[in-house]
Structures are given as C-alpha cells and as structure tokens.
C-alpha cells in the first residue's frame, strides 16, 4: 500500500473543496484503518463547501472533510481484537470523550466533548480513514456499501422517528429532504397509521412518495387542515418530526398537532427564531431536541430494520465517481436530488 492517498479537503477559508494528495493516516493501537469504498454527501458538507458562518467558526483549515462512509478494514491497531482485516464497516462519526458524566454513564451521544470526523477531525472523503475501533460498525451482507455510506443520515432519521412511540399514531414530517424522507419511511415501517410529509419542493415530495408509503403535501398550495379532514383524522397529528429547519414549518406543525402532541426536532432554523411559546404551553406540547444518533442503540435498530425489510435505497438519486465531486455538490445544492453517493473504488 502506498503511503499517499487522494482526498477532498478544505484547503483555504473559502468556498469549495480541492482534491489533494495526502499521507495515509497512521493508526494508533486502538484504531483501524479503513479503505473507503463509498461516501455520501451531507448537508453539513454543503455548509463546509459554502464556507458559511457556521463553517468558518467550526472547521479548522486545512481539513479532509466528509463523514458518511462505508469501506473495509485494511489495518488493525495492536489492541483491536474484535474486528478483522477485510471486514466491511461503516462507522459512527462522532468521536467521544471518556470523562464526562454522560459518557461514563454510557450515554455516549450526549458527551459534551464530542468531535466530528470531517468537521473537527480528518474525515472520510479520502481513500483511507483512521477511525477508533470503538466507532466502527460492521456491515452485514444485507447492507451493501452504498446503503452503508448513508447509515449516518439514516441514523439521524431513525433517532428522530423513534423518539416517541409511533404505533398506530398519525405522524407529520416537515421537510422532505433525504433525512425527512427516511424518517417518514421509518415511521411507516414501525407501524404509524398516517404519515404526512410537507415541503415546498415538488421534486423532493415526489421522491418521498417513491421511497415510502406517505402522503406528500406541498404547503405552498395545500392546507394541512384540508389534509387532516381528507384523512378522517379527528383532532390532528399525534407526533411531529421537524426536519426542515424552517420556523414557519414548525409553527404549522404546532397548529396541526393534538393537545399533548409530541415533537422531535432535528432541523435547525438559521439564527434566532421567534417562537409563540403560548401555543406550546397551552397545547401541552412535548419538545425533544435530537442530535446525531444514540451510540450505539440507533445503529442496532436501523441495521435490524434494514435486515427486516426497511427499504430506503430510492432516496439515493445520484451515484458518481469521486472525480465528479464538483458536479455532485452542485447537484446537491440545487435541491433537485436525494442522497448523492460518491464512489472511491476507481481512484
């Protein structure tokens, strides 16, 4: 194996990414080295590409970016005994500390020292990735590399959707981006009665209907109250999954929920947003903020669901060589796509 690799990196504090030659990372005794096969482009990667205010405050330069991946283990640290060479893996991109109360209690996803690969640490848009063996997630035969490469965002969807009991419930999903669409699919898979997904992007709504048995609603042309009546729902939705990061969508969700409704929030509105807290209080709404995945309960749940028939493959609309990464990012930014998977095997 050569000691050089191709990688996509933020090389300067400006928009874009560059394909560079970089050293293959050296691993420590508790790490594995992963030969990357496929990577997904994430909304976070778009923020880094655009070099917006959040990225400028958060991302060190230079940095190899990317955090959605699947590949195979090609080297093991001397302390790693539960993984094998050639094993196919994806992995948890949140690198946790070991000293906080949350981490020591096993609530790893709540560790305040968390750092992200491709955001704070060298990432997966590369031929090789160093990862703590603790973070590696073996892939069963039923989960191929392109699905393995989108387990990170699927995990966000699963974590959000499973925040509340959905069996027999009526669920409203706001935001038909890839994670919102996958959350809607999960809701149906686990037994929700009606699942309605809203957006103003006709392409994304059409994709949602292809991926899952859901009711797509363009809120620019349809009224949610009419949808509630059409579906013969007496009081409104029981559970809301807010994936859009749009304040107006959250306001619509609050209005459309039953008394005592529950909302899981994954979307992040830009800046500070005005909230009518009286509507939250007087409707006795429960709000839960969702960040990342529960480590590792969410991984177990989503892999089990994939093995048991959950099918989200159609959310992948574009498959490209990494050499075409610029086209991939432009397509993602256009809003006319689902997930985009980059192939590293031909580099």
Active site residues: 44, 47
Structure tokens at 188: 């149906």
Which of these, 100, 152, 123, 98, lies nearest to 293 by C-alpha position? 152
Helical (H) or strand (E) element with 241: strand 237-242
Contacts of 229 (CB under 8 A, 6+ apart): none
Longest CA span, the chain: 65
Strand 237-242: give its sheet, edge to edge.
215-218, 195-199, 171-174, 237-242, 257-265, 286-289
Q: How many CB atoms lie within 10 A of CB 172?
A: 30
Distance CA(42)–CA(123), nearest Å, equals: 13
Reduced to 3 states (helix: H, G, I; strand: E, B; else coil), residue 83 is coil
Q: What angle do CA 214, 147, 167 make, to 5 degrees?
A: 35
Q: What angle do CA 75, 81, 86 make, to 5 degrees?
A: 40
Distance CA(274)–CA(291), nearest Å, equals: 21
Helical (H) or strand (E) element with 31: strand 31-40
Please give the full DSSP string across 99-154, using - where no structure is assigned: SSHHHHTT-GGG-TT-EEBTTTB--SSBSEEEEEGGGEEE--TTS-HHHHTTHHHH
């Amino acid at each position: 194996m050569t000691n050089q690799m191709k990688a996509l990196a933020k090389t300067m504090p400006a928009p874009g990414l560059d394909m560079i030659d970089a050293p293959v990372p050296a691993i420590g005794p508790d790490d594995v080295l992963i030969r990357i096969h496929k990577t997904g482009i994430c909304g976070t990667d778009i923020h880094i590409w655009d070099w917006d205010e959040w990225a400028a405050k958060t991302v060190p330069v230079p940095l190899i970016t990317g955090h959605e991946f699947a590949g195979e283990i090609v080297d093991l640290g001397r302390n790693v005994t539960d993984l094998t060479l050639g094993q196919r893996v994806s992995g948890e991109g949140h690198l946790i500390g070991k000293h906080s109360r949350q981490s020591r209690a096993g609530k790893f996803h709540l560790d305040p020292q968390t750092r992200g690969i491709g955001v704070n640490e060298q990432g997966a848009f590369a031929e090789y990735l160093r990862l703590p063996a603790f973070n590696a997630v073996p892939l069963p035969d039923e989960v191929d590399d392109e699905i393995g490469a989108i387990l990170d965002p699927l995990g966000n969807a699963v974590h959000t959707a499973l925040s509340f009991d959905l069996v027999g419930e009526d669920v409203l999903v706001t935001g038909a981006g890839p994670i919102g669409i996958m959350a809607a699919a999960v809701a149906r898979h686990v037994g929700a009665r009606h699942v309605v997904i809203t957006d103003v992007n006709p392409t994304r709504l059409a994709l949602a209907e292809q991926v899952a048995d859901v009711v797509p609603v363009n809120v620019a042309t349809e009224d949610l109250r009419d949808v509630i009546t059409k579906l013969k729902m007496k009081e409104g939705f029981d559970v809301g999954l807010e994936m859009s990061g749009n304040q107006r969508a959250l306001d619509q969700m609050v209005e459309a929920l039953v008394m005592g409704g529950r909302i899981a929030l994954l979307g992040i509105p830009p800046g500070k947003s005005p909230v009518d807290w009286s509507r939250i209080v007087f409707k006795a709404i429960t709000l839960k903020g969702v960040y990342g995945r529960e480590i590792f309960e969410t991984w177990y749940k989503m892999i089990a669901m994939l093995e048991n028939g959950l099918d989200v493959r159609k959310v992948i609309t574009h498959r490209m060589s990494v050499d075409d990464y610029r086209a991939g990012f432009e397509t993602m930014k256009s809003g006319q796509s689902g997930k985009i998977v980059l192939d590293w095997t031909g580099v």
